[in-house]
Structure 1
Amino acid sequence: MGKTLDNVYKHQSLAYKYVLYFVSIALIVFFFPKGGKFKYEFQKGKPWQYENLYAPIDFSIKKTDEDIAEEQRSLRENKSDYYAFDATIPSNVKKSLQQSLETLFASNSYSSIQQRSILTSGIAIMDSVYALGVFQELPSSNTVLLVKNNEARPLGSNNFTNLQRAKQLASEILANKSFLVRTTLKNPISNVIQANVFYDEALTEKALDEELSKISFTRGEISEGRLIIAKGEVVEAENFKILNSLKGEYESELWRGDNFYFILLGYTILVALVLGMLLLFLKRYRSEIFGNNNKVTFIFVNILLMVLATTLMVKNNESYVYVVPLCILPLILKNFFDARLGLFVHVLTVLILGFVVPNSFEYIFLQIIAGIVTILTASELYKRANLFISVGQITLIYIIGYFAFHAIHEGNLENIEWILFGVFILNGLLTLFAQPLIYMYEKIFGLISDVSLLELSDTNSKLLKEMSDTAPGTFHHSLQVANLAEAAANEIGANAMLVRVGALYHDIGKMDKPTFFTENQITNVNPHDDLPPKESAKIIIDHVIKGIEIARKNNLPDRIIDFLRTHHGTTLVYYFFKKQQELEENTSDKDFRYPGPIPFSKETAILMMADAVEAASKSLKNPTFGIIDEFVEKIVKGQMQANQFLNANITLKEIEMVKKVLKRKLTNIYHLRVEYPE
């Protein structure tokens, strides 16, 4: 049973990676658009590279979105305007005219014959004026339909009469009447005329909607067996539309019936191959990351987020697929890991997305080039200007690439989609979101970036300020070690910022009992004189444990805490061990060794060497070039003989380079000069 549990614990990390691997495959395939993939790649303006293509099925030629939009625009511009005819208004107007005339007749002496003549003339004029109707406002459209008695009748452009025109028409008819009729009817007719034809917006819009709904989304049919395009023939505008129609028909037909399972299997295999390459790369070239499930999860989560964002954009509006800031991926991975891993993951992600985006060759080309530019230009992101410069260069690459592809496809620079420039600029602005995203990832995954390291290296931070007050000697020692370690890291290409911050905090545990460490003793009184060697050794060793406790209390990142744990490795507190041997000859060194672990990276190994050399250099009384050289060689040799660097990925050549830097720096610290002969 015990062996079984041991095997479970031993392989649980690998089992987690398998689960993450298969879950990621399932999610990516689920994100993919539900459709097959057309087996031919083609681009407008480029030759057809395959054999002669004959129509495998009957299909319709689909109109482009631009064609449909043009038809809709034409219908809206030439739509018919409907006007409603109010039949009650003419009769009401006649009644008003009659009442007005009766009032006039009552106050004046008109004979019955005159009254009858005037009234008859007035009614006749009203009939003439309202023969076609009086419009409230003249129509702006050339096509006007008058709805009268539930029948729509077209009107010519010369048949439109508004109030002003109606009054003018009445005046023209009156001009041919007798003086009595003309003078009597002039004002009453002008006062009673009203509009009886009104614009019917609801009916007009309804009719327009009916016309729009009749627009066909296809134009023509291609019968099975017809030659679509011959090998070597350039894909022109007409062929391009036919090929796109076949592609759409083909992909929609594929994702039906039993084809569904084969397509699903194909997608699964291809995605599994890509993610499998990623795991193999990590296992072979980044074993430290492969062994850390947290970091592997972080990489897979970023890939999934980019695939999800891109597929959602493709489903909603594929024209804006470049809005997705894919270059955030190499930017973040380079910031947390290294450039090679960042570019490798970026290329694999772009290959996955090549299955779902339109114009996959163009997309893959532009995104890989943009990713390379990101890797080459993005450095020291804690400097804000660097990120803006890098994003500007990425945006420029997108724009130049678009110009090139447009020139190839169209053969000219006409019909450039200027909106894509806005898309590329928006992509750049979204890429700037990498800064807050890095901060979020640090909190979620416990990682550390250069931005956080820069903040931690501030000697005015609360913890370092407390150390400078509580243990000033230790603080000064940490500063010196930080300078030595940073110079050494730069020499061998290690993470100089990380090792500097680790050096600044490596001895914070001494704040617990600062006077028990010689650099903080300001008098000749040494508290160790009154303690047995074992207890003194325990106090010295405990500064590592106390440091880890203080670091965790102050929320220092785990990568910084690693320096606290490893800066003494499993070395011996030699001074007190020797004192104990004087009291007890057969003393075990168990109580006099640091708990470890030993350094497991270049950075932690550099700190161990720099810390030991700087601390021991305080005992040099009259240092010379020879003494310093021998002194550094002796300390580092002792650490190597104690097997302190077995787990660190540092070579003998790099150790020699580190020693060279330490010797040079110590020489500068002690202001040694060349001794001239007398």
Structure 2
Amino acid sequence: MERFVNFLYKNQALFYKVFLFLLTTFLIVYLYPKGGKFKYEIPKGKPWQYDNLYAPFDFAILKTPEEIAAEKERINEGHIPYYEYQEDVVDSVEKALEVEFLEIFPDTLHRVQRNRLQDFVEDTREDIYDYGLIQEIIPIESGELVYLRKGNEANEITYQNILKQNDLRPFLNRRIDENQLQLFRDELLELFFNSVRPNVTYDEELTLRELESKYNQISYTRGSVERGTIIVSKGEIVEGDKLKILNSLKSEYESQVWSQANYNWVVFGYSLLVFLALLMLLLFIRKYRPDIFQNNIKVTFIFFNLLLMVMLTIGVINFNVNYVYVVPLCILPLTLKGFFDSRLGLFTHVITVVLLGFVVPDSYEYMFLQIIAGIVTILTVSELYKRANLFISVGQITLIYIISYFAFTIIQEGAISEINPEVFLMFLLNGLATLFVQPLIYAYEKIFGLVSDMSLLELSDTNTKLLKELSDKAPGTFHHSLNVANLAEAAANEIGANAMLVRVGALYHDIGKMQNATYFTENQTTSVNSHDELSPKESAQIIIEHVINGIEIAKKRNLPDRVIDFIRTHHGTTTVYYFYKKEQESNENVNPEDFRYPGPIPFSKETAILMMCDSVEAASRSLKEPTAKLIDNFVEKIINKQMEEEQFHNSNITFMEIQQIKKVLKRKLKNIFHLRIEYPE
């Protein structure tokens, strides 16, 4: 049991990766649609390249979206709207007219004349509310039919029969003239305008409900195809009815109800494909990026980003498949390049696009566009921390999308007129969304504890609090670090390493010297040497401790691990040679391990560059009268000694790259020492 527990403990990192791998596979398969996948690409306007295709089952021929839209338009044109007639308003108006009549017409009025006016008011009210009075908001054709609903009954009438409120005055004037009551015109107009109110309103709810009911009666099919019927022959041009039948077969095939057995096989097939795709990614990381493979946080970060893009794309497809190109898939290679490197970013992007090819429509077109856009992303974004570079790259990515879509459309449709301008808008929105990569990278740094070039740019500022403290407490060390940073940056640029990372590592590699600054020669401003009172072994321990002190300070100040790696490895496992030799003068049996740095040795090109530049720059201070030949021999001697001590075995750096670094250091040192002819005094 104990052996088993030890086995689990020793391999916990591997078990975590297996769990992460299986979990990602499960989530992606769970998100996939579980219907069948039509196995043929439908080449619109081109010859059918496959064998003769026969109907595998009975299916209906679907109408095109254009045909459905035309039918709905015809329904809209012939649809009769509903208006509601409100009886209670008529009753209230009748009572209001009675009250107003008594107030406006005095009792002294002749009885015959009074009865005549009352009859006029009653008849006019009935005429007004025969079909009702409406306050017209949206005018419609007067001859158009409408339904006027009174209670539970609805009668079909022409819209012109309903009196409009704007026509009320002309209507009353005409009635007054017909009844020869011009003497009472003002009083009658006042009477009606004080009492009459509209009682007909547009019944939007009932109108829309009826319209929806008619929409539901639309048949989305026209005809059917029986099983065994030949659909298309090999070499036959796919267009017209053939194209509609093929699209109908594809839709039916992908939407039909599957039995439990078929469903299980579909899930199993998807699981195998997703398993293989993710396995390729994991094996790539293990073989070509072993340092990332050993770090569970980094592996989690890569799989999280892949899963996020898959989830986002499938979510958009479920919402509206027409918006699939709005998803900023190029954020994935941008992010991975910002934290790791271009090769890993592109490989992960391709795997993600392959996974999405199972669920997107026009999968070949989609995969071509996204892979080309990913390649352009990797090739164009050289320095993500420069905002101008990001904007230029996003513009180039958007342009590639547009050009590729344009090419595919004219190939498939054979005409420019078929290009959908809305898709161009999708690409523009995609470009705008891609700009979100900068705040996203900042969030990832905080969540996963990673470091990007943007953070390195901030750390390279010599006005940061830690570097100011270094310049105050150990000014000689600070000056040495600046010189090393310049040398290391030039060397990194020469061999294609991460120049920004190595520069930041060089600036902070000696921060541990702040604790005992005067024990390092570059900070000694007087002739008094602090080591004179110490034994060589004690002096060596103080020198060695600046690495440990530097790591502690860096962790307290929350420097990224990638920067701390430079502090940890910049001396590798070399010895403090000066004090080692000094101890040998008085003691022949010296243990070299007492004078050796704890390591580890450099494990990347960048950390190896720093070791070379640090040793060369520090030792160059001992040169009294440097010449070109002396500098050449000096650089060769120091770096060759490091190679003999196997300090670069884990750093993945080649002999050719080391030779290039030597040339850069020689050239830079000659410039620093201003080697030129001496002018006479």
Instruction: Tell me if the contact between 1:467 and 1:475 (Cα under 8 Å) persists in the aligned partners.
Output: yes
Corresponding letter in the other structure for 1:413: I
Distance 1:507 1:188, change over 3 A: closer
Corresponding letter in the other structure for 2:624: K
Alignment pair present for 1:146 and 2:148: yes
1:514 counterpart (514, 517, 523): 517
Cα distance between partner residues in 1 of 2:340 and 2:92: 90
Structure 2 partner of 1:670: 673
SS of structure 1 residue aligned to 2:571 = coil
Structure 2 partner of 1:251: 254
Deviates more, 1:243-252 or 1:491-500: 243-252
Cα distance between partner residues in 1 of 2:53 and 2:170: 66
Instruction: Tell me if the contact between 1:47 and 1:234 (Cα under 8 Å) persists in the aligned partners.
Output: yes
Alignment pair present for 1:489 and 2:487: no
Report how far residue 133 of structure 1 moved.
3.5
Report how far residue 369 of structure 1 moved.
1.1
Report how far residue 507 of structure 1 moved.
0.9
After superposition, give the CA deviation of every residue in 1:68-121 in whole Å (9 maximum; x if it has no partner): 4554454445432334556795998699799979x989746678xx999x6998
Consecutive unaligned residues in structure 1, runs of 5 or more: 176-181
Structure 2 partner of 1:299: 302
Deviates more, 1:422-431 or 1:234-243: 234-243
* Paired residues, number: 667
Corresponding letter in the other structure for 2:35: G
Alignment pair present for 1:560 and 2:563: yes
After superposition, give the CA deviation of every residue in 1:296-343 in whole Å (9 maximum; x if it has no partner): 222111111100110111111111111110001111112222222211
1:355-366 map, 5 Å: 355-366=358-369
After superposition, give the CA deviation of every residue in 1:484-523 in whole Å (9 maximum; x if it has no partner): 2222222222222211111111111110000001111111
Distance 1:2 1:519, change over 3 A: farther
Instruction: Tell me if the contact between 1:391 and 1:431 (Cα under 8 Å) persists in the aligned partners.
Output: yes
Structure 2 partner of 1:659: 662
Report how far residue 417 of structure 1 moved.
3.3
Corresponding letter in the other structure for 1:297: T
Structure 2 partner of 1:214: 216
Corresponding letter in the other structure for 1:617: S
Cα distance between partner residues in 2 of 1:604 and 1:151: 89
Deviates more, 1:23-32 or 1:332-341: 332-341
Structure 2 partner of 1:48: 48
Consecutive unaligned residues in structure 2, runs of 5 or more: none
Cα distance between partner residues in 2 of 1:541 and 1:287: 29
SS of structure 2 residue aligned to 1:258 = helix
Corresponding letter in the other structure for 2:154: A
1:161-560 map, 5 Å: 161=163, 163-164=168-169, 166-167=171-172, 170=175, 174=179, 198-201=200-203, 204-205=206-207, 208-209=210-211, 211-225=213-227, 226-236=229-239, 238-253=241-256, 255-414=258-417, 416-560=419-563
Structure 1 partner of 2:80: 80
Structure 2 partner of 1:38: 38
Distance 1:620 1:76, change over 3 A: same
After superposition, give the CA deviation of every residue in 1:373-403 in whole Å (9 maximum; x if it has no partner): 1111111111110000000111111222222
Corresponding letter in the other structure for 1:370: A
Report how far residue 295 of structure 1 moved.
2.2
Instruction: Tell me if the contact between 2:68 and 2:220 (Cα under 8 Å) persists in the aligned partners.
Output: no
Instruction: Tell me if the contact between 1:600 and 1:645 (Cα under 8 Å) persists in the aligned partners.
Output: yes
Corresponding letter in the other structure for 1:36: G
Cα distance between partner residues in 1 of 2:19 and 2:105: 102
Corresponding letter in the other structure for 2:538: E
Cα distance between partner residues in 2 of 1:590 and 1:149: 104
Cα distance between partner residues in 1 of 2:533 and 2:108: 138
Report how far residue 29 of structure 1 moved.
0.6
Structure 2 partner of 1:642: 645
Distance 1:579 1:54, change over 3 A: same
Cα distance between partner residues in 2 of 1:675 and 1:106: 132
Cα distance between partner residues in 2 of 1:579 and 1:352: 64
Alignment pair present for 1:18 and 2:18: yes
Instruction: Tell me if the contact between 1:507 and 1:547 (Cα under 8 Å) persists in the aligned partners.
Output: yes
Please tell me the root mean square deviation across aligned C-alpha atoms, in Å.
3.4
Deviates more, 1:317-326 or 1:82-91: 82-91
Deviates more, 1:76-85 or 1:560-569: 76-85
Instruction: Tell me if the contact between 2:87 and 2:199 (Cα under 8 Å) persists in the aligned partners.
Output: no
Deviates more, 1:8-17 or 1:263-272: 8-17
Cα distance between partner residues in 1 of 2:435 and 2:520: 47
Instruction: Tell me if the contact between 2:603 and 2:652 (Cα under 8 Å) persists in the aligned partners.
Output: yes
Instruction: Tell me if the contact between 1:79 and 1:143 (Cα under 8 Å) persists in the aligned partners.
Output: no
2:157 counterpart (150, 155, 158): 155
Report how far residue 528 of structure 1 moved.
0.8
Report how far residue 556 of structure 1 moved.
0.9
Taking every aligned residue pair, what percent have the same amino acid on both sides?
57
Distance 1:123 1:576, change over 3 A: closer
Cα distance between partner residues in 2 of 1:509 and 1:115: 113
Instruction: Tell me if the contact between 2:131 and 2:161 (Cα under 8 Å) persists in the aligned partners.
Output: no
Instruction: Tell me if the contact between 1:325 and 1:428 (Cα under 8 Å) persists in the aligned partners.
Output: yes
SS of structure 1 residue aligned to 2:417 = coil
Cα distance between partner residues in 1 of 2:457 and 2:584: 45
SS of structure 2 residue aligned to 1:39 = coil
Cα distance between partner residues in 2 of 1:127 and 1:232: 77
Corresponding letter in the other structure for 2:533: D
Distance 1:497 1:43, change over 3 A: same
Instruction: Tell me if the contact between 1:509 and 1:547 (Cα under 8 Å) persists in the aligned partners.
Output: yes
After superposition, give the CA deviation of every residue in 1:160-191 in whole Å (9 maximum; x if it has no partner): 5554565466457547xxxxxx6799888777
After superposition, give the CA deviation of every residue in 1:433-466 in whole Å (9 maximum; x if it has no partner): 1111222222233322211111111111111111
Instruction: Tell me if the contact between 1:135 and 1:197 (Cα under 8 Å) persists in the aligned partners.
Output: yes
TM-score w.r.t. structure 1 length?
0.89
Cα distance between partner residues in 2 of 1:531 and 1:80: 106
Report how far residue 137 of structure 1 moved.
5.0
Cα distance between partner residues in 2 of 1:454 and 1:186: 88
Cα distance between partner residues in 2 of 1:272 and 1:298: 18
Cα distance between partner residues in 2 of 1:105 and 1:518: 121
Corresponding letter in the other structure for 1:38: F
Cα distance between partner residues in 1 of 2:28 and 2:334: 22
Corresponding letter in the other structure for 1:285: Y
Cα distance between partner residues in 1 of 2:152 and 2:257: 51
SS of structure 2 residue aligned to 1:228 = strand
TM-score w.r.t. structure 2 length?
0.88
2:134 counterpart (133, 136, 145): 136
Instruction: Tell me if the contact between 1:60 and 1:218 (Cα under 8 Å) persists in the aligned partners.
Output: no
Cα distance between partner residues in 2 of 1:449 and 1:95: 80
Instruction: Tell me if the contact between 2:101 and 2:191 (Cα under 8 Å) persists in the aligned partners.
Output: no
Cα distance between partner residues in 1 of 2:468 and 2:525: 19
Alignment pair present for 1:607 and 2:610: yes
